[in-house]
Structure 1
Amino acid sequence: MLELLNQHAHGFTSAAIVAACEAGGIFEALEAEPLTDGELARRRAANPGHLGVALRALISLGWIDRRPDGRLVPRVDRRQRALPADVAELFAADWRGWLSEREVPAAARRWLGAAGAGWREVHPDAAELLDGALIVPLALALHELGALGGPGPWFDTRSPEWAALLVTYFARLGWCEAPSGRPTPLGAYLGERVMILGTVASYAPMLRALAALLFGDAEAIFTRDEEGRERHVLRHLNVTSSGFQHGRFFADVEALLIERFDQEPIEEQPRYIADMGCGDGTFLRRLWTAIAEKTRRGRVLERHPLTLIGADFNEAAREATRATLADLPHVVVEGDIGNPEGF
């Protein structure tokens, strides 16, 4: 079942790559004559390294091919690869804001209507990419608003128009029943795991700027804003999603630390737990809770306190960690996982 989420994540990034390459004349150039990567980059004034990544993605899609002589040729025609002219809107859509409104915004109505009808205006290959470009941010927004949990109807708190649009689309994907909006077994499973999509969704700012990355000033995309935040990634979403996905690793480390902090003598146990690359601090909080509830050390924390140390290079991650650990003994410091000695 997780393959479906991976397929949607694949569509989310691929739609942006196809749109940027179409706008930059990549397919047009290859339709005119077979070209090597270098020839294509020079012909379209592209950044060779970044274009090379995009070309490998298009080869993986099966939309272009590399001949034995190294030259690239198209494998799909213009009709097969055609995406809506305004597809870039999907990477800037504020679904959380839209879903918070009672009335359905015109853009949301247009996209959900087309998606619910099965993207009739585009080729099935392109439709698969569009589903990814739509469902990734939409499902995350619904998850954040608490609309993809529980066995009851998912969308019954929305206005009738919102509910109808959402039920039609999610029923087409097999996530819910129509007209009730109750989750199917597939939908219940995926709804609990949509945060897996957060990692790829966090790069929406970079995907919006993909044309500039391929054909313009690529370095400008990876700068920071006036407040020091990275421009190319939504870092808080990135670290939150990463934390969600590392559940198995967390469980294994938790078991080891429970064993360590349950040993005597208490006086010889560690006084600190440090996490380099702490993300949003969820891992540290989980470890502290496990030790407090399941070990001998947990029964004497007042006499033998345990301090959590969160280190991360990214300020957004450090801010998130401070919030996560606000009611626990903790220290948050700047640290680079590539420089452990400095830590």
Structure 2
Amino acid sequence: MDKERKKQLRGILFQHLDGITLCSTIATFFNKGITEFILENKTFSIQDILSKYECNAGYLNVALRLLASQGWLKREIIQDGEDVEFQLTDKGNIGLSHAPYYDTFNKFIPFLINIDKYLFDPNAKDIQDEFQNLQICLDTLNSNVPAPGSTEWDVSKHLEGLLVGPILVAFGMSDFFLESLENKSEINLESMGDKLPIMSSIFSLFIYLKWIVIKNNKNYFSEEGLFFIKRSTAYGVTVSYLPTFNQMPELLFGNPNVLWKRSPNGLETHVNRHMNVWGSGGAHSLYFRKIDEIITHIFNKPLDEQPIGIADMGCGDGTLLKHLYEVVKNKTERGKHLQLYPLKIIGADFNKAARLASTITLQEAKIEHSILHGDISNPADYAENLKQEYGLDLQKMLNVRSFLDHNRIYSPPKKPFHDTVCNSTGAFAFRGRWIPNKELKQNLIEHFSSWHDYVSKYGLLILELHTIAPEVTAHNLGSTVATAYDGTHGFSDQYIIEVDTMLDAAEKAGLIPEPKYQALFPSEELATISINLFKAVN
């Protein structure tokens, strides 16, 4: 497969993620009459909607910004934290006219949340009829063969994504097609379909999408099919938030605290954490090369100038810690002297399932490690617990974290923020409350300040997510995952902010990035991920 075709398929994958994120928002707007309101009024503000509907303003702001990121609305902040004005575009007129389709697909989300059960449990309820109806719906939508880049094409890919994303994740997490992929062997559709009826419908969808081809009366994955099957982890994080999207009516129009109720056994209900860790672990490998460069620089210094270890706050499944240990061991001066200068490996996470996953990863790799509970919003407690439990000083560590600072628990700033300069285009909420962008930036400044003293000796290595301006996203559909990031994080009280805003907040907290180690992905213009090594200054 040539590069151009891979780029096209990657574009479809990104639009699949957009669709998983958007479907419940558009369906909820449709059912509450907001879609009709937008189509009739063309130009309106958030306050116009709030005066007519009882909404949670913070999540309404997030939802409308998602539509702006698709180019369906033009967006202008009138007063930070108070009002935003929108104008319906031609694309939006076409897109929102398809809202009934989104509503139909959205009704299937409760099944998609547990699709692995329907796939692999012969005793599970038969949902074949519902699934086939959605495939018929998709076929109807595609009957006019929408041109790539058209709004009709976007809608088709959105709805296709909601169907295939959870299925690909279920197959990926179970290694269902591992043997077929390794041996490029035949896929026996008939025997699978006999055992589990839903399988035959799914394979019918794959054939419809040309992901499965028939040669000599045998079924094989096509190049396109292999492309998506092999990239199932790319869907993991977005699909893990289906429980959040399933609560969209309540989030927008009801109890804004609904996501924060725990299950009877104390687990989160807004995200499938095991799936989330699996998906984000797969993403790490894309950025290892730049991180490796930074790690080798630090651990090639004179031994007495090096940190005693690496402390990963938000260690997830331990993938990053395992990798960093192996880089130090195999590629640095420190690795030659581990007997005299052992490398302490510390993993901290707020989530019990993640701590367990990290323990398993590091034990299997035979890496000595210490795992403890940690909250990124409270470095003082983290440092104290590390000292009490393991006798280690956090200041003597290289502190690292990946995709976590945006997930700090929000607290109102202690200092005034009204004079704070903030150019962010983001939409931020806490339990439904609309957080002004200036307020959020001051919160970020204070968050970084709380870490300053603990990273003053060896620095802070951060791999972080970002938003980009909606109009930039809208002009680059299929080239950015910004819409998916904005939806999954915006509705779950996480705060992804533009790169320049984050760097400015860090600087005001006395953390300065080392330019030679900065990296932006996928590009400077579309930067939704950054890597920075911050040094503390007074």
**CA 1:64–1:81 in 2, change beyond 3 Å: closer, same or farther?**
farther
Verify: 1:222 aligned to 2:260, yes or no. Answer: yes
Letter in 1 for 2:235: L
Residue 186 of structure 1: aligned partner: 224
Structure 1 residue 204 displacement after superposition: 0.9
The percent of aligned pairs where both chains have the same amino acid is 28
Q: Give, in whole Å, the separation in 2 of the partners of 1:182 and 1:27.
A: 42
Whether the 8 Å contact between 1:80 and 1:122 is mirrored in structure 2 is no
Whether the 8 Å contact between 2:118 and 2:124 is mirrored in structure 1 is yes
Verify: 1:168 aligned to 2:204, yes or no. Answer: yes
User: Mean Cα displacement is larger for which, 317-326 or 18-27?
Assistant: 317-326
Residue 360 of structure 2: aligned partner: 323
**CA 1:3–1:120 in 2, change beyond 3 Å: closer, same or farther?**
closer
Letter in 2 for 1:58: L
**CA 1:102–1:219 in 2, change beyond 3 Å: closer, same or farther?**
closer
Structure 1 residue 24 displacement after superposition: 1.6
Structure 1 residue 205 displacement after superposition: 1.1
Residue 7 of structure 1: aligned partner: 15
2:165 to 136, 140, 164: 136
Whether the 8 Å contact between 1:115 and 1:169 is mirrored in structure 2 is no
Q: Give, in whole Å, the separation in 1 of the partners of 2:213 and 2:50.
A: 48
Deviations 1:199-254 (A, max 9, x none): 11121111000001100011232344454433322233223322211213223333
**CA 1:90–1:297 in 2, change beyond 3 Å: closer, same or farther?**
same
Letter in 1 for 2:19: G
Q: Give, in whole Å, the separation in 1 of the partners of 2:343 and 2:119.
A: 42
User: Mean Cα displacement is larger for which, 215-224 or 161-170?
Assistant: 161-170
Structure 1 residue 198 displacement after superposition: 1.1
Residue 51 of structure 1: aligned partner: 60
Verify: 1:95 aligned to 2:104, yes or no. Answer: no
SS at structure 1 position matched to 2:138: coil
Residue 241 of structure 1: aligned partner: 279
Residue 280 of structure 1: aligned partner: 317
Letter in 2 for 1:324: T
TM-score normalised by the chain length of structure 1 = 0.83
Letter in 2 for 1:246: H
Letter in 2 for 1:159: G
Residue 147 of structure 1: aligned partner: 176
Residue 158 of structure 1: aligned partner: 192
Letter in 2 for 1:174: K
Structure 1 residue 71 displacement after superposition: 5.9
Q: Give, in whole Å, the separation in 2 of the partners of 1:44 and 1:61.
A: 24
Letter in 2 for 1:9: L
TM-score normalised by the chain length of structure 2 = 0.55
Structure 1 residue 48 displacement after superposition: 1.8
Q: Give, in whole Å, the separation in 1 of the partners of 2:67 and 2:110.
A: 19
RMSD: 3.5
Structure 1 residue 121 displacement after superposition: 4.8
Whether the 8 Å contact between 2:284 and 2:320 is mirrored in structure 1 is no
Whether the 8 Å contact between 2:59 and 2:252 is mirrored in structure 1 is yes
Letter in 1 for 2:106: V
Deviations 1:114-159 (A, max 9, x none): 4554624557745433211111111100112213441224565623
Structure 1 residue 103 displacement after superposition: 7.5
Letter in 2 for 1:27: T
SS at structure 1 position matched to 2:37: helix
Letter in 2 for 1:39: D
Relative CO higher for 1 or 2, CA cutoff 8 Å, sep ≥ 6?
2
Q: Structure 1: where are the runs of 5+ without partners?
A: none
Structure 1 residue 162 displacement after superposition: 5.1
Whether the 8 Å contact between 2:39 and 2:96 is mirrored in structure 1 is no
Letter in 2 for 1:90: I
User: Mean Cα displacement is larger for which, 63-72 or 325-334?
Assistant: 63-72
**CA 1:39–1:258 in 2, change beyond 3 Å: closer, same or farther?**
closer
Structure 1 residue 9 displacement after superposition: 0.5
User: Mean Cα displacement is larger for which, 202-211 or 139-148?
Assistant: 139-148
1:27 to 20, 35, 43: 35
Whether the 8 Å contact between 1:167 and 1:177 is mirrored in structure 2 is no
SS at structure 2 position matched to 1:40: helix
Q: Give, in whole Å, the separation in 2 of the partners of 1:131 and 1:24.
A: 24
Q: Give, in whole Å, the separation in 1 of the partners of 2:278 and 2:72.
A: 33
